[in-house]
A and B are shown apart, each in its own frame.
Chain A
Amino acid sequence: MAYSELIKNFSKIRDYMREFYLYGFKRRREYTQKSSRSYDNERRRMESILDGYMHFRTTQEGRSVFLSIDSRKVPHNPLYKAWKAKSFTDGDITLHFLLFDILHAPDIAMTIQEITEAVDGKLSEYEDVRCYDESTVRKKLKEYVAEGILTTEKQGKTVLYRRSADAQLPGRDTLDFFSETAPCGVIGSFLLDKEEERDSHFAFKHHYITSAMDSEILCSLFLAMREKREVTIETMRRREESVHALKVVPLQIMISVQSGRQYLMAAGLYHEKIRSFRLDNILSVTPGDVCQEFDSLRLTLDRMREHIWGVSTHSFSGEHMEHVEFTVRFGPTEKYILQRLEREKRCGKVEPLGEDMARFSADVYDASEMIPWIRTFICRITELHISNAQLEENFLRDIRAMQAMYGVEGGENA
């Protein structure tokens, strides 16, 4: 098939965007799963869509392509552009503009026959007139009714179509801000496309833009949650490179603003536990039946969250709950450490111990999720107790390994 910069199926470009943006060191021959033509086409598409953000590196081993974006410097997520590259037919685009020209005001209501005739009339100046038959027009009208841009009403047995009422958009600042910070922000970006161009007043720090690639999955999950529906999700196990389908009840989306990851918290059907699924590993979402237990399952999750540090709902140690406790010390000019503990404690407790010490404690399902955070206090940890003894030993061993790595006397190689 001839190359086109437009995309029919987003999942393909989703994979490549992820590879180029996150990794970017792979060479052409390493994209083994896909054909080289497919790779060349996707790379060319990305170069066209993300013009200015694609970079190349040539080494002895070959050439690699990567996406490098400092999200603090860009007021609008460049990855949203890929969502604006959906392919369409010549008929689609022509009919789209003709329909809204015919139904140009909300007070115009027409039957399908009248609309089809009006379309023919508009195109009559072409010698090789392409008439849209009634069924094509009907299909498009039905599609637009589902999208909410047209409405229908019955007059006796006749169905009349009219355009939906126009609505005022919120201010430009509102759209600039929420299109970057709200879930499914790409929809805000679609709204911004309706506005005149203007420099945004906002910049974003610690801003992860990768979630843009999962917008459709997220949107489908929201739609299911609003209707309290079960869904079938297809998930990718990247290491095994296998795909699994399972039925779950989607309960909540959990977002990490410190890693950019988004997770679905969902209950397995048939009395399985509530667990998390990374959104970037979900390939598809198919809505199912309404789940009568949705409210009670969500209540269960709410209660569980008092003991979830990140998203994990079970430990590898087999303990139901793991206890973590550590003490830090700080100098007279380092009171901010206490503030740090307070603002970062999540479900834990902070207890000042005199003027220069503080103790943090928490009971969580999975203490291993806390380890990276505890490491950020390296240089001031005076005590550490984890009920999962193996985890505690690993933590201490890792510190010794780090000390060895940086030539600190007394360190041990891992």
Chain B
Amino acid sequence: MMIFSELYSAYYNAVADLLKKASVHPVSQQDIEQAVKKAAFSESYANILPAFRNGRWRVLRQDGTTLLDHTPTMPLTLLQKRWLKAISLDMRIRLFEDRMPEFPDVEPLFTPEDVAVFDRYADGDPYADVQYRKHFRLILNALDMKYPLEIEYTSGRGRYAHTVIMPQRLEYSEKDDKFRLIGREARRIGIINVGRILSMRPYAGRMKRKAAAKEPDRSDVVIEVHDERNALERVLMHFAHFEKEAEKIDEQHYRVRIRYDREDETEMVIRVLSFGPLVRVTEPEHFVDLIRDRLVRQKNCALT
């Protein structure tokens, strides 16, 4: 039972897709190109086409018809069933499914006791709450069917708020263990914590105006890493989820440029601080000032 198996390979998927088409009509070179582009990699076409042409893979004839009598399908592997059984034990599953496919004779690949996330924040969303689940499902439905929602919620500052929003996506943070609804309001891109929603319903009216979809504002911060105590690896791992670029300055120093969302600047500041003197921010100046300001304030705390 291996993950790295040809049963899950992009080539098998591309060929299965192609054979499905061939069961309806003879496939053309263009069909092959499309199937490969959809399922496989950028150089795959150069391998798959000759394999059919030279008769090495004897499931498709030269004329584009197939010698198979049925549409190709493959049952779920034991590994896939065991993984599905494992996720059916995750408490978040009830956000999505009332009943998961049952595999009575199958052991889960892992259970909640086999895994511990040790640094997740403790105030995550209330997945067991019936109202929360109802809101979550309605958002998923609105995303599917593309309709706006009218929402009453408590803002980040603890105030009552009301909005009409066209959902674009649900964003999940593994660290915060929270979902946020991101969508287009009349004048701006709205971000609402699902856990703060008081009530919601499909919006009966027509949204006359929707803010243009736009990318979040991004900024670059440049840091210099002094590679002592394995700092380089720790820094690069820690900031791995960002778009970043690293270069070597000398044997012990490295420069790393990280692109982050401006809304997360305070979080970036404290993440940089966590590395202590092994990381120094070099630009932009306003970010350097944010770090310096904290160090000045720390000095005023008279910690000795």
Contact = CB atoms under 8 A, between A and B. Distances in A.
Interface stretch (B27-35, B127-135, B200-208, B296-304): B296-304
A255 B117 contact: yes
A71 B258 CA distance: 13
A226 B122 CA distance: 28
Given A93-B6, A148-B76, A182 B87 contact: yes
A167 B76 contact: yes
Contacts of A71: 241
A378 B298 contact: yes
Given A201-B140, A215-B3, A166 B75 contact: yes
A206 B261 CA distance: 12
Contacts of A381: 298, 301, 303
A83 B4 contact: yes
Given A24-B245, A86-B5, A210 B237 contact: yes
Contact of B237 (A178, A259, A311): A259
B109 A4 contact: no
Report whether over half of chain A's contact residues are helix, strand or loop; otherwise say mixed. Answer: mixed
Given A187-B79, A201-B169, A257 B117 contact: yes
A166 B73 CA distance: 9
Contacts of A320: none
Contact of B245 (A57, A177, A197, A210): A57
A202 B171 contact: yes
A64 B43 CA distance: 22
Interface string B271-296: 10111110010000000100111111
A181 B172 contact: yes
B157 to A, nearest CB: 10
B277 A193 contact: no
B245 A257 contact: no
A168 B76 CA distance: 9
Size band of the B side of the interface? Answer: 35 or more
B69 A104 contact: yes
A251 B14 CA distance: 39
B23 to A, nearest CB: 10
A138 B291 CA distance: 67
A383 B303 CA distance: 6
B118 to A, nearest CB: 5
B240 A148 contact: no
B236 A23 contact: yes
Contacts of B296: 408
Nearest to A308: B118
A270 interface: no
A225 interface: yes
A259 B242 CA distance: 12
Interface string A55-89: 10101000010101111100000000101111110
A406 B294 CA distance: 11
Interface in B232-260: 233-234, 236-238, 240-248, 254, 259
B172 A202 contact: yes
A266 interface: no
A101 B237 CA distance: 46
A245 B70 CA distance: 49
B24 interface: no
Ranked 3 nearest A-B pairs via Cβ = A148-B78, A379-B294, A88-B6
15 contacts: A51-B41, A72-B261, A98-B68, A101-B72, A167-B103, A169-B84, A201-B170, A223-B1, A253-B110, A259-B119, A259-B237, A260-B240, A329-B301, A339-B123, A345-B122
Given A72-B171, A90-B56, A169-B76, 19 more contacts: A25-B246, A44-B43, A48-B43, A57-B245, A72-B261, A81-B10, A88-B12, A98-B68, A181-B172, A193-B39, A203-B170, A208-B174, A310-B119, A342-B123, A343-B121, A343-B123, A344-B122, A399-B303, A414-B277
Interface of B: 1-13, 15-16, 19, 38-39, 41-44, 47, 51, 55-59, 67-70, 72-81, 83-84, 86-87, 90, 92-93, 96-97, 100-101, 103, 107-110, 113-123, 140, 143-144, 169-176, 182, 233-234, 236-238, 240-248, 254, 259, 261, 270-271, 273-277, 280, 288, 291-299, 301-304
Interface of A: 4-6, 10, 21-25, 44, 47-49, 51, 55, 57, 59, 64, 66, 68-72, 81, 83-88, 90, 92-94, 96-98, 100-101, 104, 122-123, 125-126, 130, 146-149, 163-171, 173-174, 177-178, 181-184, 186-188, 190-191, 193, 197, 200-210, 215-216, 219, 222-223, 225-226, 252-261, 298, 305, 308, 310-311, 329, 339, 342-346, 371-373, 375-376, 378-384, 396, 398-399, 401-403, 405-411, 414
